[in-house]
């Protein structure tokens, strides 16, 4: 059995520079956050928003006329051979959905057929239901002119 102070080691003595390095790192991190806060605040203060005149929303008649014209453009593109039957039906489906969105604010462009029906978008849901077989069939089918008439009816009867 050993006795006395010979069994104990003195406390470890660390170099004072480690404490200085740790404090310097903490100070640098704090300064970085202060700089980022100052810089982002300065950037938002210097942003000026230009005065822009508000464009009035189109009237119901203007909106209907525009979309009826777009339906006619799809039929003309199909007649010219620029669109296939499937592409024409896809465009018509997109047009009636966009019309419902622009006319009412309902996000019909991202709704499924079931969603359109549940949202009570009657003529829009009917038009999309007419287009589904022509859009998704393995063989191109469907009458583009009949589908265009359905789109026009949906535009005229909606809203």
Return the structure tokens found at 5.
């102070």
Amino acid 6: pLDDT = 67
3-class DSSP assignment, residue 138:
coil
Range 21-29 average pLDDT:
96
122 lies in some domain: yes
Amino acid 110: pLDDT = 86
Amino acid 44: pLDDT = 63
Spatial neighbors of 142 by CB under 8 A, at least 6 apart, are: 85, 89, 131, 133, 134
Q: Is the pTM of this model over 0.75?
A: no
What domain count does the chain have? 2
Domain that holds residue 67: 60-157
Kindly state whether residues 67 and 135 are assigned to the same domain: yes
pLDDT band at 5 (very low <50, low <70, confident <90, very high): low
Q: Which of the pair, 138 or 52, is modelled with greater confidence?
A: 138
52 lies in some domain: no
Kindly state whether residues 37 and 67 are assigned to the same domain: no
Kindly state whether residues 35 and 85 are assigned to the same domain: no
Range 20-26 average pLDDT:
96
Kindly state whether residues 93 and 151 are assigned to the same domain: yes
């Amino acid at each position: 059995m050993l006795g006395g102070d010979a069994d104990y080691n003195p406390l470890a003595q660390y170099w004072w520079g480690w404490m200085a390095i740790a404090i310097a790192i903490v100070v640098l991190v704090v300064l970085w956050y202060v700089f980022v806060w100052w810089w982002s605040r300065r950037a938002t203060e210097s942003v000026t928003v230009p005065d822009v005149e508000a464009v009035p929303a189109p009237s119901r008649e203007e909106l209907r006329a525009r979309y009826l014209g777009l339906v006619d453009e799809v039929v003309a593109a199909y007649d010219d051979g620029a669109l296939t039957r499937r592409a024409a039906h896809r465009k018509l489906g997109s047009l009636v959905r966009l019309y419902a969105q622009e006319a009412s604010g309902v996000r019909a462009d991202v709704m499924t057929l079931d969603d359109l029906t549940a949202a009570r978008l009657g003529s829009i849901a009917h038009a999309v239901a007419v287009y589904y077989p022509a859009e998704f069939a393995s063989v191109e089918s469907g009458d583009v002119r009949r589908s265009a008439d359905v789109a026009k009816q949906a535009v005229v009867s909606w809203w």
